[in-house]
Structure 1
Amino acid sequence: MRADAIEDWLSGDYATGDWGGVRTQLEEAGITPEAAYTTDMMAVRNGNAGSGDGWDYAGRIDFGINFDFEKLAGIPGFSLYTSGAWSSGHNLSDRQVGNMFAVQQIYTGREVRLSEMYLQQQLLEDRLSFKVGRLTTENDFISSDIYTNYVNGGINGTPANIPGGNFGFTTAPFAQWGVVAAGEPVNGLRLAAGVYNANEHSVDDTRNGVDFDLDPGDGVLAIGEIGYSWNQPAEEEAAETTTAAAEAHQPTEYEPAEGDTSGLATLPGMLKVGGWLYESGDREDIKDGGNKNGNPGLYISLQQMVYEEPDGKGQGLTPWMVVTYMPRQSINENPVFFGGGLVYKGLIPTRDDDNTALGFFYGNLSKDLQPGGSEKVFEMAYTVQVTPWFYVRPDIQLVFDPAGVSSADTAIVGGGEIGIVF
């Protein structure tokens, strides 16, 4: 292989390259395939379950394909997307750590499953969109790319207490029947609303994502969100990826702000406020085991870059925080969640696309649980962006009061994550 060919491969977006030009030809025709692999290999000392010491592997292959019918059949803004996943490995939190927030965010069972499968129509120059089909809720609500800098499942990819308390709120690779409408009436302002079925069995390993039952009696999740972002990267450089692993791979170039380039007024930030209503007769009361209806909740998230290096390119420091609250403690084991952290892009000179991340996650357990209490996790991670399609993320987590047990030892978890986009 010639030196220039190797350089092109290492600087490209995919580990498998352009397939001799076939990938580009497919995309130009309206067919975009995708695949990615992520693995978390973590070890624990002083865990609160099993022997308390040990290690586990968890991994997932995500794959999908998008059909753009504007290119395929001349239907403007219309597309079909479908995806799947092959999950493997074990859950170290269950086997050794004995805590609430999974120390391996990528663990999602051990099976091959269908994930999303939906139709999408975009209108008004993509300012208005509608999706219907099998949908993953986190792809449209509360999630943020900044959360993907962590290995702990408390925050990657959404605050863990929301899907934990709502059958209708799904995270990758799980999905429910649903419909979502989203609009951007003015630049930076996004309004979104969604309604999802709440079939509690849709995430079962034995169903492989093909339990297509649609029964309103299972419950309905209705959710809405108002988001506002400012000074964001240029649209062509900040396009969202679809697979879970790909989100952390694509370095983003920032568009220089016009006019005054000093102070927070020119730096990117984002605010999201949302809430949901959930009605079902299948939520089990923690105290008496009976069924309860209704599980509302709300959330707010904020991130704001506070320092950008003089040469721009989006390098600098971004603090973030998120709070979620579900008031009905009788049916929510973790009604209150707080997460916050710092992410610095390009901290080490010559490593412009690497991310250094510190995070703190707090989960308050229901007062109806014994012993109650709260779990706290402190995490330090460093993402080495080896190529645009390959990263390595060394990671350390300290788990305080695992599962709210104040008498338990602080669990020390270390290891890392590897991701490849094919």
Structure 2
Amino acid sequence: MPKGSIASVIATVLLGCGPACLPANAEDAGASEEIGISSNPAATKAVTGTAWLGEQLGINKRGVRLGGVWVGGVNDLVTGGVDPGFTFNSSLVVDLSVDLERFAGLKGSSIGVDFLQLNVQPTNSDAGSVLGYIGLVGSEPYNRSELLELWWRQELFDKQLIVRVGKMNAAIDFQDVVRPVAHPDVERRISVVTSLLYGPIFALATLYDVLPSFYDTAFGITSTWIPSERYYVSYGVFDGNKARGVPVGLRGPEFNGYYFHIAEAGTDWTLGPEQKPGFLAVGGWRQTGKLATDDGLIEEDGAEGAYLVASQHLWYRDPQPINDAGVSGYLQFGWNGSETQLSNYYTGAGLTGRGLVPRRPKDSFGVGMALGWLNPNLFEQNMELVLQSYYQAHVTGAIYTETAVSYIPNPAAERGLDASLALTQQLIVPF
């Protein structure tokens, strides 16, 4: 879609509509439902949407569930970067899942399939950003119709072992800082740690070239051992051809020596008399196969790295809390020793406020910082910083709109770029 006067009009209308012009339904005010939603639910959940579509079609029966989510946004790169102006992004995911225990009597079994229609523009490239201030936009091709996921999940040994096989988004099972944080009182769990839009919130920058994630998912297998309610250990192995620049989301599996292995251990807890929930996960990974820079001048035999993600509820709004309204924070850290990956070190942090705006019980807002130390073999600049703030407003039902401001003081994709300032308005419509 070209940049021009029509884009300017649309963006002015969308960006001019903030939280104040969105109605809050009366029935929502007393609800104890989740506060907020991921800025891209398809990137953080294996099963998306509200199942409204299946209900309308009358097929949500005997464990069958049909839903999905549409995310659309307009971005105005106000200044800086490579090409200031407007870009538009759209992602439609239709999700079908079947509980096979209810449908066919297969205990602990379920299957899922997701279809993706993606139409995005080079939003991050226009800003000159390596880390990316919009996580909805990844590698080319930017316009694709794709089988996003196709998996079978099996619970074993009284749900202490869970195995999932098929085409999957590994970022959901590993290094996911957005995931809900458990609490003995399910109403008080952290439903969504943050609704930031930038890329490293969905996949750590040190894993960009290797981790199967939205929207370049890959075939593989994951297994998770849950010895108690507080601990888990997960391991996964996937088609690793993403590391050599293959758009794995559009292709079937290849067995040619390129494999991505990843393992993670995690735990959660509650702190203090208010039982504020927290979460910590540490992991390590190994990519096999011969890796090379785009110019072919540097090669290496595989790569490896490690990471840590954590989140913690910091303050409750209510003296006797009944939900997760309050303030929480998160931390991320990633490392790899590669000569060919985009980023060798990454750290990120952010704060989120939920249910703090009067008469807007489901609204949330937050700030975040993403800092990547870039591979000197690929970039003249040694680091890039992305700062972002957002306000996510509940519209009605499960629909949210989100306004974000992003600032990149040192875009690193090209030498000598001016600081980038961008405004984003996004609509998230689960169905």
State the TM-score, normalized to the length of structure 2: 0.79
Of 4, 11, 22 in structure 1, the residue corresponding to residue 58 of structure 2 is 22
2: distance between equivalents of 1:35 and 1:352?
A: 24
SS in 1 for 2:116: strand
Deviations 1:63-103 (A, max 9, x none): 11112111111110012211120000312222x21111222
In structure 2, the partner of 1:396 is: 405
Could you tell me which of 305, 313, 323 is aligned with 1:297?
Answer: 305
> Which of 94, 115, 136 is the aligned partner of 1:63?
94
Q: Per the alignment, in what secondary structure is the counterpart of residue 102 of structure 2?
A: helix
Are positions 1:99 and 2:129 aligned together? yes
Displacement of 1:204:
5.7
1:339: how far off?
0.6
1:176–1:202 Cα contact (<8 Å) kept = no
Aligned-pair CA distance for 1:44: 0.9
1:228 — aligned with what? 267
The structure-2 alpha-carbon separation of the partners of 1:185 and 1:370, relative to structure 1 and needing over 3 Å to count, comes to: closer
Q: Could you say which residue in structure 2 is the equivalent of 1:136? A: 169
Q: Which of 252, 259, 265 is 1:212 aligned to?
A: 252
Q: Which residue of structure 2 aligns with residue 234 of structure 1?
A: none
Equivalent residue, structure 1, for 2:21: none
2:315 matched residue in structure 1:
307
| 1:170 equivalent in alignment to 2:212 | yes
Q: Is the 8 A contact 1:93 1:100 kept in 2?
A: yes
Q: Secondary structure at the match of 1:154?
A: helix
Cα 1:171–1:288 change in 2 (3 A) is closer
**Is the 1:226–1:274 Cα contact (8 Å) retained in structure 2?**
yes
The letter of the residue matching 1:153 is G
- Secondary structure of residue in 2 paired with 1:401: coil
Q: Go from structure 1 to structure 2 and tell me whether the alpha carbon gap of 1:161 and 1:174 turns closer, same or farther (over 3 Å shift).
A: same
Q: How many residues align?
A: 372
Change (3 A) 1:351 1:366: same
- Residue 80 of structure 2 corresponds to 47
Residues 401 and 410 in structure 1, CA contact (< 8 A), matched pair in contact too: yes
Unaligned segments of structure 2, at least 5 residues: 1-24, 34-48, 179-191
* Amino acid in structure 2 at the alignment position of 1:327: G
**69-78 vs 193-202, which deviates more?**
193-202
In structure 2, the CA distance between the partners of 1:338 and 1:404, relative to structure 1 (3 Å rule), is farther
2:188 aligned partner: none
**What CA deviation, in whole Å up to 9, does each residue of 1:48-72 have, x standing for no partner?**
213xx20100110011111211111
Question: Which residue number corresponds to residue 261 of structure 1?
Answer: 273
Is residue 183 from structure 1 mapped to residue 225 from structure 2 by the alignment?
yes
Conservation of the 8 A alpha-carbon contact between 1:114 and 1:210: yes
1:206-233 deviation line (CA, Å, top 9, x unaligned): x8x452233142x1111100011124xx
Identity, in percent, stands at 19
The answer on whether the counterparts of 1:118 and 1:135 sit within 8 Å (CA) in structure 2 is yes
How far off is 1:118 after superposition?
Answer: 1.4
Please tell me whether the aligned partners of residues 40 and 104 of structure 1 are also in contact (alpha carbons under 8 angstroms): no
| In 1, Cα distance between equivalents of 2:397 and 2:331 | 27
Q: In 1, are the aligned partners of 2:342 and 2:375 still within 8 Å (CA)?
A: yes
Q: Structure 1 pair 359/143, CA: closer, same or farther in 2 (3 Å)? A: same
Any idea what SS the aligned residue of 1:362 has?
A: strand
Secondary structure of the residue aligned to 2:68 is strand
Q: 2:340 aligns with which of 319, 324, 331?
A: 331
SS across alignment from 1:273:
strand
Q: 1:401 to 1:194 in 2, by over 3 A?
A: same
Separation in structure 2 between the aligned mates of residue 183 and residue 224 of structure 1, nearest angstrom: 11
Matches within 5 A, 1:271-282: 271-281=280-290
TM-score, normalised by the number of residues in structure 1: 0.81
Relative to structure 1, the CA distance from residue 271 to residue 285 in structure 2 (aligned partners, 3 Å threshold; closer, same or farther) is: same
Gaps of 5+ in 1: 1-5, 232-256
SS class of match (1:165) = coil
Q: State whether residues 39 and 58 of structure 1, in contact with CA within 8 Å, keep that contact through their aligned partners in structure 2.
A: yes
Question: Deviation of residue 40 (structure 1)?
Answer: 2.2
Q: Is the 8 A contact 2:193 2:352 kept in 1?
A: no
Amino acid at match of 1:199: N
CA contact (8 A) 1:197 1:214 kept: yes
Match of 1:160 in 2: 205
Greater relative contact order, per chain length (Cα 8 Å cut-off, separation 6+): 2
Conserved? CA contact 1:60–1:107, under 8 Å: no
One-letter amino acid of the counterpart of residue 319, structure 1: G
Letter in 1 for 2:167: R
Which residue number in structure 1 is paired with residue 422 of structure 2?
413
Aligned-residue CA RMSD in angstroms? 2.8
The one-letter code of the counterpart of 1:418 is: L
